[in-house]
Structure 1
Amino acid sequence: MNTQMIVKTYEHEGLSLKVPFTNDAFFNATAVAKPFDRRPVDWLALPDTKSYINQVCDFLTLDKNQLVITKFGNPTAGGGTWMHPKLGVPFSRWLDTRFAIWCDLQVESILHGSQASLPLPTPAISDDPITPAQQSAIRQMATRRSRETGKYISFFYTGLNDHFELGKYSQLPARRFEEAMAFLEAMPITKGKLALPAPDQQTSVLLQQISESVARVESAVTAAPAREKKPAVKNPRRAEDLSFVRLDHHQRLLGWTVEHDDDEVWNDGLEVGFGFSEELRTLSHNNEREAYHALCAALLGLHREPGTGENWRQGRGQEMGFVDAIACLALIGMREVRMSPPAPDAWPNPLRRIGV
C-alpha cells in the first residue's frame, strides 16, 4: 500500500465526508464508516465478506493481509483499517449504495491518474427517506440539544415528528433533511426551572392556609413520642397483601388506612408515604407515565363507586383536576432531584425531624 494520501470529499444532501485514499486507491474504511454508524470489523466478520476476500486472494494471488491493512492511530493521522480497492467498493456498498457508486468513480479516477474528485449527477427531487448517515446527523443534533438544554432527547424527536407529521424521524424525506436540521437547531426551549404563573388572590389565601396546616402538622410530629415501626408484610404479591390498605364489603381495594389512635395514624401514613415515594421515584426514572398513574391512584383512593348525580360529577372533576396538578408537580420535582440531588439538610423540617 502506497502511503501518499489523497483526500476526496463526498457531498450529498447536507453530508460532507472527507474520504482518505492512497495513490494506489486503498481507502480508510474506519474514517468513512463512522458517519454511517457502522464498523469495518462487522463487515469483515460477515460470511459473504470472508468468501469474497478468499476469491479475491485467489484471483489476484495476494495474501489477506495485503487486502486489509490495520494501522494504529487516529484516522485523521492515517490510523484505522485500510482496504484494497477491490474491497473498498463492496464495503462502501454495505454503507450506502449512492456512496458506493461515488467511491467506484474515485477509485477509477485515482488508478487512471486523475486527481479530480468526480461528482455524481444531481438527482431529481423525490420522497425517498433520509440515509443512515443523515439519520446519524439528526441523532447527533438531538443529543447535543438535549445536553445543552437538559431536556430529554425524546423531546426533540417528538417535536420533529410532530412538525413534519412523521411516525418516526427515519421516515423524513431526504429532500427535507436540511429543513429538519434547522428546525432542531431552532426548537424553542424554556431553559432552567419550569416557570409557574404567579398565584392570584384566592390561590394565595389557599397557600397560606396550607402553610398553616403544615406548621400544625410539624408541631404535632415534633411532639409525637417515638414508637416501634410496624413490620412490613413479607413478599407481597398483590396490593391487597399490603398492611396499610383495606377492603370494602365487595373485597375491593378501598384506600390507605392504619389502625392506631389519631396521633399515630399520621405517623403511620407518613411511613407508608415515604415507602411509596421511594418506589415512585425509581418508577418515574424508568417510566414517568406509569409513575403518574400510580401517584394519581394513591391521591384519589384506589377504587371508588361512581356516583350518578350532577354534584358528584362536579366534585369528582374538581378533585381529579387537583390531583392531576399535584401529580404533575411531583414528577417535575423528581426530575429536578434526579438532575441535581439536594443536600441532606435541604429537606423540609417535618421530614428531617422524624429522622428520614
Structure 2
Amino acid sequence: MNNVIPIHYDGQPVRFSSDGWIDASSAAKRFGKEPTAWLRTIETVEYVSALAEALFGKGVSETDLKKLRLMESRGKEAKAFTLKLAKTTGLVSTKAGRGGGTWVHPKLAVAFARWLDVRFAVWCDLHIDALLRGELPGKRNFDQACKKLAEGQRKASQHGRALANWKREKRPLERDVEVAREQFQMILGLEFS
C-alpha cells in the first residue's frame, strides 16, 4: 500500500491510508491489544454487518449470524468464523508482509478505536474526517504522487511480464530463424554469414 500516511498521536505514528483506512494492527499494538480480538466478538460482527448493509446494501446473512450466536463464543471455530464473516463485508482487510496487517474501513475505525481508548477514538474521528475532506495540507499532491507511482508499478509489472515471456520465446524463435536460414541456403545453394 503506497498511500500510507503516518499521523502522530501521543508522539507515535498511527498509519492511515489517504482514503481514511486505519492500520488496526499497529494502532492496537500501542494499547497492548490485537485487532482480531475485537473482530472476533459477536457484537463486532453484528455491527460490521449492519454497517456493511447500510453502506453496500449487503451485510452478513441472518443465517450466518444465527449460526454464530449458537456457537460457543470462546471456541476456536467461533473465533475463526467471526473473523471470516467480518472480512467478507469489505470493511476489514488483511494483508501479510511489509505494509500489511489488519486495515479497517474509515466508517468502522472509530468504533475500533473506541475499543482501544476513548481519547484515541476522538483523535481518530477528527483525523479521519480531515483526511476524507482533504483538509490536510499536501493531501492532493500526495494522492497524485501515489497514483503516479501505482501507475508506474502497473506498467513495470506489465513490461516485466512481457520481458519474461520474451526470454522464454526468444530461443525457440532464434532456432526457427536458423532452421529457416539453413533451408533457404540449401534451396539457393548460397551461404549467408
TM-score by length of 2: 0.53
Deviating 4+ runs (over 2 angstroms): 62-65
Q: Which of the residues 107, 110, 115 maps onto 2:131?
A: 110
> Residue 68 of structure 1 aligns with which residue?
92
- 1:3 shift after superposition: 4.6
Q: Which of the residues 32, 52, 57 maps onto 1:57?
A: 52
1: CA distance, partners of 2:2 / 2:94: 13
- 1:115 shift after superposition: 2.0
| 1:24 partnered with 2:23 | no
Amino acid at match of 2:115: W
The structure carrying a bigger helix percent of its residues is 2
Confirm or deny: 8 A CA contact 2:52 2:89 kept in the other structure: no
Query: Identity of counterpart residues, as a percentage?
Result: 41
Task: Provide Cα deviations, 1:6-50, integer angstroms capped at 9, x if missing partner.
Answer: 110001xxxx22111111100100011011110000000111101
Q: Which of the residues 121, 126, 133 maps onto 1:100?
A: 121
Confirm or deny: 8 A CA contact 1:6 1:22 kept in the other structure: yes
**Other structure's SS at 2:30 match:** helix
Counterparts of 1:1-356 in structure 2 under 5 Å? 3-11=2-10, 16-61=11-56, 64-73=88-97, 77-115=98-136
- 1:65 shift after superposition: 4.5
- 1:90 shift after superposition: 0.5
Amino acid at match of 1:88: A
> Residue 162 of structure 2 aligns with which residue?
none
2: CA distance, partners of 1:60 / 1:31: 26
Larger radius of gyration: 1
Confirm or deny: 8 A CA contact 1:71 1:79 kept in the other structure: yes
Q: In angstroms, what is the RMSD of aligned CA positions?
A: 1.6
2: CA distance, partners of 1:56 / 1:65: 9
> Residue 193 of structure 1 aligns with which residue?
none
**Other structure's SS at 1:19 match:** strand
Amino acid at match of 1:87: L
> Residue 148 of structure 2 aligns with which residue?
none
**Other structure's SS at 1:24 match:** coil
Structure number with the bigger relative contact order (C-alpha 8 A, sep ≥ 6) is 2
How many residue pairs align between the two structures? 108
1: CA distance, partners of 2:24 / 2:30: 11
Confirm or deny: 8 A CA contact 2:113 2:121 kept in the other structure: yes
2: CA distance, partners of 1:36 / 1:29: 11
2: CA distance, partners of 1:67 / 1:17: 25
Confirm or deny: 8 A CA contact 2:49 2:89 kept in the other structure: no
Confirm or deny: 8 A CA contact 1:40 1:81 kept in the other structure: yes
2: CA distance, partners of 1:35 / 1:5: 18
TM-score by length of 1: 0.29
2: CA distance, partners of 1:110 / 1:28: 14
2: CA distance, partners of 1:46 / 1:8: 28
1: CA distance, partners of 2:122 / 2:18: 19
Confirm or deny: 8 A CA contact 1:3 1:23 kept in the other structure: no
2: CA distance, partners of 1:107 / 1:23: 9
2: CA distance, partners of 1:10 / 1:114: 18
1: CA distance, partners of 2:2 / 2:20: 10
2: CA distance, partners of 1:71 / 1:37: 20
Confirm or deny: 8 A CA contact 1:27 1:82 kept in the other structure: yes
2: CA distance, partners of 1:86 / 1:51: 15
Amino acid at match of 1:10: Y
Amino acid at match of 1:29: A
